[in-house]
Amino acid sequence: MLELLPADAVLSWVRDGAGLVGWGCVARLDVSGPNRFHQADAWWRDLCQQIEVADSVGLPGCGPVAFASLAFADQPGNSVLIVPEVVIGERDGVRWITTIGDGSAEPLPPEPVRPPGTVSYSDGQLSTTGYRQAVAEAVRRMRQPGDLDKIVLAHDLLASTSEPLDARFLLHNLAARYPTCWTFAVDGLVGATPELLLERMGYEVRSRVLAGTVWPHEGHTSEQLAAELLASAKNRSEHAYAAESLAVRLRPFCSDLTVQSEPEILQLRNVLHLATNVEGKLSEVSAHGPATLLRMVAAVHPTAAVGGTPTAYAVRMIAELEGMDRGRYAGPVGWLDGSGNGEFGIALRCAQLEPTATPDGEAERGGGRVRLFAGGGIVPDSDPDMEVAEAEAKLLPIREALEGIR
């Protein structure tokens, strides 16, 4: 499906070769602040009521679709919903095309994907050294009497390319190396996330919670690493925080909710994670109001997997210790349709394509600039050097994609 995308303004949510891609823009919402989810939900439902739909396929993702990427924090950060002019979808072996407008926006032969040339790296807003210091300070605070049990910290890395950056180059390379992840692109945020925050299909809701990580190192087989991860009290505790955090917030929307009793291992090329599946059936009536996907996403975000425990306190500490604007990194990213279906992951293993500018403010011709993100969950017995190494392992997917490794 990715091979169908044109060069500009690409939108993607693809896993194992199926999903949705889109381009063009017939409607867009930019919103920020603590009410961003509810404002986006109201805008989307109002817009869908104004659209006359002819849908002969009837699968989730048919009809009007919005691609969405929401900021991690209440402030700062811009959240966006984009309704593309053209969507191509594939599910259960069925492929379809949705257009909005007069139907004249047919797919055109895409231009060749452009490589980015030479890639060089430099410190972002929070350097590796600064990240290590932030982790050490978080550990020091958690080892003192207080309420903080876990905090999820991250840092960024800047990449510059000698040629203009084609988002499709990243998407193709990420999909080739991480086919079981959700490869996404929304408004310049590109990545391949292994973590499904929420999926709604009719009255069924599903999540896959990830927390607790090891990464390949010399002298250890995959089986040894998996056994080490399952036996790690630190990682099991961190994972339990995350799974319980999501289940507690999702349960009020459900008449039935099942949480996997024991975590399983999710193995990727660069890391192994503990994973827990959560499945529920939505109630006809919820004390939290309509169980729309965006309202449920608002209720569960951020989970302990990307925030910490207790979450509200941890998120305040993240802003203090990192001292950087995460933007939409670690925020919800995905799609929703006019029937209430959709999928949202957590924007991990990702990068924000940033416009470069000359001193006079005009767009710069030539190379591109990308801001990469990675981090991990910090608990009282975390080792700062090990956390730095974990973040480096999590940067590999985007670095390798930028460098053309498949």
User: For residues 199 and 208, what is the distance between their CA atoms, to the nearest angstrom?
Assistant: 9
Are 79 and 69 a contacting pair, CB within 8 Å?
Answer: yes
DSSP for 339-371 reads: TS-EEEEE--SEEEEE--B-TTSPBPPS-EEEE
Distance CA 245, CA 267 (A): 23
- Catalytically annotated residue among 111, 137, 150, 400: 150
DSSP 8-state secondary structure symbol assigned to residue 2: G
Nearest CA-CA partner of 391 in 107, 152, 35, 51:
152
Task: Please pick, among 3, 195, 234, 322, the residue that the annotation labels catalytic.
Answer: 195
Count of alpha carbons within 13 Å of 185, Cβ hemisphere only?
Answer: 26
- CA dihedral (122, 193, 344, 276) positive or negative: negative
Residue 150 a catalytic site member: yes
Tokens, residue 386: 């090990």
Residue 174 and residue 193: Cα distance in Å, rounded? 10
Q: Residue 236 in 3-state DSSP?
A: helix
- Catalytic residue IDs: 150, 195
